[in-house]
């Protein structure tokens, strides 16, 4: 799956799944634009990729702002001259409250980042890909983009929205050689969303029990699917939402 000569954008790339995706794109030969609000970790990841022989550049961006998404894509074109792949991974877990108790501020924040941020990214990524004849976009959804869970109405609504947005854009650009898919992880270890939860053995055991495989997923297991969906091996796959969930949705 050589991506030599290609250029990829990865958002939320300073840690967890996004970091693994960026590293795998670079390992396959792509030049990578990494984006995150955590500048120190993002710069460190980009430097690690360069030290390993890859091409990488970090661009700080708050993807709840459309102008930041536009600047990120412009930076890819200015730095590397094209855009072929994008993994729109950045997101937050949001607050834990039932619907009637969910704060208005919390709702607006999670929709702005987890849903509007994906829309803003695609709004600018797609025209850039059209300039060079096509590409592939992978949006980070969740198993909670297909089912609900008590206490997370904002997250669930946003991820359902990402799945719908992915399908709609895939239909619109299928004839223009741009494939657009989503990946739906279950609970994944070593991410900002699970790090605090994993410190409690009881919570760790509970989270593991939600998956028929009786464990949490690993960031590299999600990243591997992102890379496959970006490659020509997935040339007839578009508009799909593929789970990486240890059987979570099969229950």
Q: How many Å apart are CA 85 and CA 183, to the nearest integer? A: 15
Strand residues in the chain grouped as ranges (E): 7-11, 31-36, 55-60, 85-88, 135-140, 178-185, 241-244
Catalytic residue among 25, 102, 120, 155: 155
φ/ψ region of 238 (left if φ > 0, alpha if ψ in -120 to 50, else beta) reads beta
Tokens 């999670």: give the residue: 110
Give 250: exposed, middle or buried? Use CB within 10 Å, 0-12, 13-18, 19+. exposed
Query: Catalytic annotation on 155?
Result: yes
Distances in Å between the Cα of 33 and the Cα atoms of 11, 85, 96, 209, 222 are 8, 10, 32, 36, 19
Tokens of 251: 């229950």
Q: How many Å apart are CA 211 and CA 231, to the nearest integer? A: 28
Instruction: Find, among 140, 134, 143, 127, the residue nearest to 77 by Cα.
Output: 127
Q: Hey, which residues are catalytic here?
A: 155
């Amino acid at each position: 799956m050589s991506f030599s000569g290609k250029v990829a954008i990865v958002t939320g790339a300073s840690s967890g799944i996004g970091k693994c995706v960026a590293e795998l794109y670079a390992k396959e030969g792509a030049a990578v634009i990494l984006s995150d609000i955590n500048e120190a970790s993002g710069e460190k990841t980009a430097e690690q990729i360069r030290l390993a022989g890859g091409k990488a550049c970090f661009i700080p961006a708050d993807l709840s702002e459309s102008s930041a998404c536009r600047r990120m894509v412009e930076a890819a074109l200015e730095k590397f001259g094209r855009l072929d792949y994008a993994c729109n991974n950045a997101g937050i877990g949001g607050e834990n409250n039932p619907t009637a108790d969910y704060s208005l501020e919390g709702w607006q924040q999670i929709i702005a980042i987890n849903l509007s941020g994906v829309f803003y990214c695609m709004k600018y990524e797609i025209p850039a890909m059209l300039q060079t004849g096509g590409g592939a976009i992978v949006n980070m959804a969740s198993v909670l983009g297909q089912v609900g869970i008590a206490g997370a109405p904002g997250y669930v609504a946003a991820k359902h929205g990402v799945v719908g947005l992915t399908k709609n854009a895939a239909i619109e650009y299928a004839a223009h050689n741009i494939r657009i898919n989503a990946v739906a992880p279950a609970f994944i270890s070593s991410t900002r969303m699970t790090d605090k939860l994993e410190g409690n053995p009881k919570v760790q055991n509970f989270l593991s029990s939600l998956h028929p495989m009786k464990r949490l997923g690993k960031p590299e297991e999600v990243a591997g699917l992102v890379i496959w969906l970006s490659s020509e091996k997935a040339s007839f796959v578009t508009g799909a939402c593929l789970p990486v969930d240890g059987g979570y949705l099969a229950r």
